[in-house]
A and B are shown apart, each in its own frame.
Chain A
Amino acid sequence: MKSKRTGKPVFFVVFILILALTYCAFFGFENYYGDTRKVIIKGANDIRWGIDISGGVEAVFSPDKSGVDITSDDMDAAKTIIETRLVNNNITDYEVYTDNNTHQIIVRFPWAAGESDFDAQSAVQELGETALLTFCRNEDQNDVILKGSEDIKNAQAGPDENGNFVVYLNFTDAGTSKFAAATAQLVGQKISIWMDNQEISAPTVNQAITNGSAYINGMANADEAKSLADKINAGSLPFALTVDDSKLQIISPSLGSDALDVMLIAGAIAFGIVCILMIVLYRLHGVIATIALLGQLAGTIACISGFFPNLSSFTLTIPGIAGIILSIGVGVDCNVIAAERIRDEFRKGKTIDGAIDSGFKNSLSAIIDGNVTIVIVSLVLMGAFGTPDSPIAKLFSPLMSLFGSSITGSIYSFGYTLLIGVIFNLIMGVLASKYMLKSISQLKFLRKPAFYGGKKNG
């Protein structure tokens, strides 16, 4: 048996790292300048909870009646676009109903995190924007060269070579030739770019552009660029929608008004019971498992609250919580499998180091297979129920396009929390707990098989 010893300090280093992550993930890090709270690291308080848990806003959209006839296809298209906009903003919990008789679209979505300064009106307005992008000759809005909904393949936000934020556009083939013709004609003149009735940019044409791409500059920051790109990708609404302000409503949580508090208490007690069971059954290994589970939970929370700068915050709903419960269950399982294996090894009469080594080794294939299967499940769900332009959806697009797109935020959020949870389980439950146990078993006073579930006299 080769025995690669793990140093004694490893346990303490890993333990302190997990504690630090847990503290930051739950409590965040904030500064006060006078009365303004500046969040440096987002904590659990910055999670946007679903309508079911903390309530939200209901808005009724109705089309501007001035236009043409509205078919039920138009209504469905409008609904899909509103859903895409919601999911693009990581609001994965919403209800969108269409009423084809009265031509109304009812949208319900949850309060943003820390709801106090939440401006429902502006959020609702943004959802209802037509988002019709047009390129016009000179600055005349009526002289349209090309339309975003027909001639643009996709848009992408990013910095240009000078570090300014811009939105890159790729035209379709038809769009490319239209744009080439127009720019050839308009050298020295201006082309204006309009979003609905607002001019967002009016660059002067230097030369004919034939490569089928263009960009929009003048974005204030990365967020504005991303939101414009998302809107262009989501497509424009087939008709303008107005919000009936008198029908704007606050909805109570569908689970009851104090659902959030109750669920947090229930979750904390349930987590405590799991930890106690683990410690009673597996003693020292149970303690290690508890630390690993805490790390897994903290990591998952961190990915939901927007703790990591490149992952924006996520709406947490009942299905999302189910995803966390499942991943914690998988985490428990992974520790149980390893602990049972180590016991088996003790029964075979192995030493502490030998039993821990081969126990972890033997348990690995079952754990990896189980986890990979669950990763597959979560990826399929995210691909099937997320927005069509997400990387995962693109991965599955040849399959998914067969069935048409339907965005279901709640299922997407289940897949998301599950995936994150399982990834953290692989880090915490598989790697961290192995090194912690190996390291702590080097401490003299803990070198008794009884601490690991071996026979007491062993």
Chain B
Amino acid sequence: MADKKTINSSKVLKIGIIIYAAVFIIGILFTLFAGLKLDINFSGGTRITYSYTGKVEEKDFKKVAKSVIKKDFTVGSSTSLAGDVKTLTVNLAGRNTLDTKTQESLTTKLEEKFTKNNIELYDSNSVSPTVAGTFFIKSLVAVILTAIFVIIYVGIRFRKIGGVSAAVTALCALVLDLFVSFFVCVIFRLQIDSNYMAVVLTILGYSLNDTIVVYDRVRENKKLFPQLDLSENMNVSISGIIKRNIVTTVTTVSAVATIILVSELFGLTSLRTFAIPMAFGLVSGCFTSLFVAGPLWVIWQNRKNKKA
């Protein structure tokens, strides 16, 4: 038997419920009142490109544009292949399209502010949002398919401890983690771009892996200590692997934190949308796989046994 103090996982679950309820309420409130920031890749939108000569700081350009547009937008810069045309592009996502009047006044204002730079309207496009629709459907399908395959695999591998219940509770933990990463994006006002999809998938991998380690230990302890009841077994198992979970999570989160830190030091802010939701999702994954999936599985199994 473990020589350490055993953890009472259902007690921790109760604390967890309070924390997650708070995160959900804050997250939903932010989503409702502050809204999402979607990238143009996802939502379609407008792209207006200006050519210029000399040197225009992206920051100054953005400031001027902001005074006219008054909506969320991003600015990108580029140079033509021959190197003779330099451009700055304003991207507006989704329904934030600009009417011609605003476009005209933006052009006038920019010409006024950067008189020396010969600013001219180069190109203006509206980007089809149909792409975004199929992308989301496809992503959803991929996530559902993955879930089905994982349920089948976990169900077979862990059939001795009620495979389907193990798989479904693992998915519950996962869904919580994904919501946490989503709310982090909303609360920190981070744009949902294609990086976010990578974050979702990474969290999916970590969270499932964490939960599988829990069930693996439960399966083993069931063989070793058949006298333990389910919740005792779960508590012993969790106590046995909590250190592994913490070490793995601390190691990974410190790696991700290093990436955030170094890139912020060098002024590379665009990695935020990638690293911040990832870090929170990983911490959540460490917690939920131990204290959500585990105790839920115990409750499920106990119900089933009572009925039987």
A250/B79 in contact, CB under 8 A: yes
- C-alpha gap A264/B125 in the complex (Å): 35
Query: How does the 8 Å CB contact mask read for A361-401 relative to B, with 1 for contact and 0 for none?
Result: 01001100110111011001100110000000000100100
Interface residues of A in 402-429 (CB under 8 A from B): 403-404, 406, 408, 410-411, 414, 418
Interface residues of B in 38-76 (CB under 8 A from A): 41, 47, 76
Among candidates B78, B145, B262, residue contacting A252 with C-beta atoms closer than 8 Å: B78
Interface size on B, residues (CB 8 A): 76
A258/B266 in contact, CB under 8 A: yes
B102 contacts chain A at the CB level, 8 A cutoff: no
A97/B128 in contact, CB under 8 A: yes
A271/B255 in contact, CB under 8 A: yes
- C-alpha gap A271/B199 in the complex (Å): 19
Interface residues of A in 316-337 (CB under 8 A from B): 318-319, 322-323, 325-326, 328-330, 332-333, 336-337
A192 CB to closest chain B CB (Å) equals 36
A144 contacts chain B at the CB level, 8 A cutoff: no
Most buried by B among A101, A271, A381: A381
B308 contacts chain A at the CB level, 8 A cutoff: no
Binds B, one of A158-166, A273-281, A295-303: A273-281
- C-alpha gap A91/B141 in the complex (Å): 24
- C-alpha gap A332/B146 in the complex (Å): 24
B138/A403 in contact, CB under 8 A: yes
A336/B244 in contact, CB under 8 A: yes
A377/B205 in contact, CB under 8 A: yes
A259/B270 in contact, CB under 8 A: yes
B41/A385 in contact, CB under 8 A: no
A447 contacts chain B at the CB level, 8 A cutoff: no
A-B contact count (CB 8 A): 226
Question: Assuming the A-B contacts A259-B270, A262-B268, A319-B195, are A340 and B212 also in contact, with contact meaning beta carbons closer than 8 angstroms in the complex?
Answer: no
Residues of B within 8 A of A377 (CB): 146, 150, 201, 204-205, 208
- C-alpha gap A425/B154 in the complex (Å): 21
A370/B244 in contact, CB under 8 A: no
Question: Assuming the A-B contacts A58-B78, A277-B250, are A101 and B126 also in contact, with contact meaning beta carbons closer than 8 angstroms in the complex?
Answer: yes
A152 CB to closest chain B CB (Å) equals 26
- C-alpha gap A102/B124 in the complex (Å): 10
Question: Assuming the A-B contacts A329-B252, A369-B157, A385-B142, are A374 and B205 also in contact, with contact meaning beta carbons closer than 8 angstroms in the complex?
Answer: yes
A304 CB to closest chain B CB (Å) equals 16
A104 contacts chain B at the CB level, 8 A cutoff: yes
Residues of A within 8 A of B108 (CB): none
- C-alpha gap A330/B219 in the complex (Å): 21
B78/A120 in contact, CB under 8 A: no
A255/B268 in contact, CB under 8 A: yes
Residue of B nearest to A384 (CB): B142
A102/B149 in contact, CB under 8 A: no
Residues of A within 8 A of B255 (CB): 270-271, 273-274, 325, 328-329
B188 contacts chain A at the CB level, 8 A cutoff: no
Among candidates B3, B135, B145, B206, residue contacting A406 with C-beta atoms closer than 8 Å: B135
A95 contacts chain B at the CB level, 8 A cutoff: yes
14 sample A-B contacts, Cβ–Cβ < 8 Å, listed by A number: A97-B47, A97-B125, A99-B125, A255-B268, A274-B255, A277-B247, A329-B251, A329-B252, A333-B209, A336-B244, A362-B220, A365-B216, A373-B153, A410-B194
Chain A interface residues toward B at CB < 8 A? 52, 57-58, 76, 79, 95-102, 104, 106, 120-121, 246-252, 254-256, 258-259, 262-263, 265-267, 269-271, 273-274, 277-278, 281, 318-319, 322-323, 325-326, 328-330, 332-333, 336-337, 340, 344, 347, 362, 365-366, 369-370, 372-374, 376-377, 380-381, 384-385, 396, 399, 403-404, 406, 408, 410-411, 414, 418
Given contacts A248-B81, A265-B266, 13 further A-B contacts (CB under 8 A): A101-B126, A249-B81, A252-B77, A256-B268, A277-B250, A319-B197, A325-B256, A336-B244, A336-B247, A365-B219, A366-B217, A377-B208, A414-B201
